[in-house]
Chains A and B, each alone.
Chain A
Amino acid sequence: MITVLVEPDNETLTFKRHSTVLRLQQQLGLRVNDALVIRGDRLLTPDDRLNDGDLIRIRKVMSTG
């Protein structure tokens, strides 16, 4: 299972099945450059694999004013 914290909405989601960052972005309805995908102090690219127990932060980048 992975835990996903979505910013700036402060929404926490969990996913039992996980594969890659790209798949996670698709599940969240995000395009590749819509958000930073962060694990620890590193940014992830779409092909990076997600691991069981990962805590992932999704930081949407579009400013709305």
Chain B
Amino acid sequence: MKCRKCKAPAEVALPSHHTAFCRDCFSIFFTRQVEKAIRHHALIKYGERVLVALSGGKDSLTLMLELSRLEYDVTGLHVDLGIPGSSPPARAKVEGFCERHGLKLRVVELAKLGLAIPDVKRYINRPVCSACGKIKRHWFNRVALEEGFQVLATGHNLDDEVARLFANTLRWDAGYLSDQGPCLEAESGFARKIKPLYRLTEFETACYAFLNGIEIHSAPCPYSGGASFTGHKQLWANLEHTSPGTKIAFYDGFLERGRPAFAHVEQQTGAPLAPCETCGSPTSTGVCGVCRLALAVAERRAADPDRQTGPDRQ
């Protein structure tokens, strides 16, 4: 197989694009996809400071490296979840990556905030992935606002976005369908959230990470087994295999024709937001969900004679 552009031996075959690239031409293709996403959706404006959420996985580290090469003012933010055996190696990968590339990094430790994920799993009666996601989003936004970042970037790729859109569609969740997309504008106490990798698949970000020598944390979260999200991705991988190009067509079609309709509905029915009485983050419930979680964990841990982790053990 030869590179479509320069006819050198190809290293990356992309059936969705009916093409293949050598490593140099793939790098150009990848950068153009990111630039196209940024330009088309006005994701980053001149001079803005960008906070990049870094998990240690291929997508977030790839995003950080690519944005820094495009000369955006980027700072990484890693949320240390406090999961024994899982969080330390993930954090080490992020810290090593930032040091190697001379990139700024900020770390939030949930254990010091009374919200170590093992405690949340133990004391809160709701799916831990849902609570963990809520806590991470809360801290990403809070750090962005408190430390003067205009933009919060995440490494969500096309596969993530299509699986999420599919799940939202299965529930006809008008709230989420009204604002899912590569750019969520800043409003009511939220920084602008952007997904510059939304045009690129997991395979493509994995190729970029490998070809650029990025060392990634690839072990799955010990708590994520059986997540429906993974099943949806498998289903879409089958669809894409039989009909290359289906994923991007589904997602682009939603952005163009689906989201505006749901946004219109939500504008008429969405609950108003006000600052959280405890932390000031926007919420529709007086005290925000994360502050309520922290309070519940603290109360139940204090009442638990077998408690094993928490801020008092740091």
Contact = CB atoms under 8 A, between A and B. Distances in A.
B210 A59 contact: yes
A32 interface: yes
A36 B227 contact: no
Interface string A50-65: 0000000001011111
B202 A63 contact: yes
A8 B218 CA distance: 7
A3 to B, nearest CB: 19
B230 A65 contact: yes
Interface string B217-234: 011110110010110011
B294 interface: no
Contacts of A38: 210
Nearest to A7: B218
Q: How large is the interface on B (under 10, 10 to 19, 20 to 34, 35 or more residues)?
A: 35 or more
Interface string A19-50: 00000000000011110101000111111100
A43 B9 CA distance: 11
B12 A45 contact: yes
A7 B13 CA distance: 20
A65 B221 contact: yes
B36 interface: no
Main secondary structure of the interface of B (DSSP, over half): helix
Give the interface centre of A33, A34, A47, A62 by most chain B CB atoms within 10 Å.
A33
Given A59-B210, A62-B230, A65-B227, A45 B10 contact: yes
B224 A62 contact: no
Contacts, number: 76
Give the interface centre of B11, B12, B159, B221 by most chain A CB atoms within 10 Å.
B11
Contacts of A7: 218
B13 A32 contact: yes
Q: How large is the interface on A (under 10, 10 to 19, 20 to 34, 35 or more residues)?
A: 20 to 34
A46 B219 contact: no
Interface in B268-288: none
A21 B288 CA distance: 51
A47 B12 CA distance: 11
Contacts of B108: none
17 contacts: A32-B13, A33-B16, A33-B201, A33-B237, A36-B206, A43-B11, A44-B11, A45-B20, A46-B13, A47-B1, A61-B58, A61-B205, A64-B224, A65-B129, A65-B221, A65-B224, A65-B227
Interface of B: 1, 10-16, 20, 23, 57-59, 129, 159-160, 201-203, 205-207, 210-211, 218-221, 223-224, 227, 229-230, 233-234, 237-238, 240-241
